[in-house]
Amino acid sequence: MNEKRLYRRPMRPHWWAHRPYRAYTLRELTGVAVALYGAILLIGLVCLWRGPQSYEDYLRILASPGSIALHVFLLAAMVLHTVTWFQTLPKTMPKLIVGGKAIPQARITALAVLAAVVCSSALVALAMEVAR
């Protein structure tokens, strides 16, 4: 009669939509947008591999208003994902000490976002140069 009973913390329905978890849930959902955009790029590579007609169809679909709206949404989600990813960076790494002083978390985040913007801009410039 002496059975062990594990404590089970009560969970409200839709716990993920309440205040302390909302930002975390939104950040994790942006990972789905990243995966969706990766799938779109993979489909483009497959269409390119299949031949000119298939690739032209792919480009025509990408030029449709619905696709452009989807890409605007995906861009916003990817920017949010990138910023929140870099906000967690200083929280998960050891403190950086330069000249006997710890570098503030906000500065680490800003430098990481700046590096991402510079690398992305260089990649876009290179792609535009190749496209000419």
Mean pLDDT of 81-94: 88
Residue boundaries of the structural domains of the chain: 18-131
Mean pLDDT of 23-52: 93
Contact 61, 67 (CB under 8 A): yes
d(CA 76, CA 38): 15
Would you say the pTM of this structure is higher than 0.85?
A: no
| Residue 86 identity | F
| Residue 118 identity | V
DSSP H/E element including 56: helix 52-62
Phi, psi of 100 (to 5 degrees): 80, 0
pLDDT tens figures, 17-28:
888 788 888 889
pLDDT tens figures, 106-128:
999 999 989 999 999 999 999 99
CA dihedral 71, 76, 78, 81 (to 10 degrees): -160
pLDDT band at 2 (very low <50, low <70, confident <90, very high): low
d(CA 115, CA 89): 13
Higher-pLDDT residue of 73, 2: 73
102: which residues sit within 8 A by CB, 6+ positions away?
Answer: 95, 96
pLDDT band at 59 (very low <50, low <70, confident <90, very high): very high
Domain 18-131 sits in CATH at 1.20.1300.10
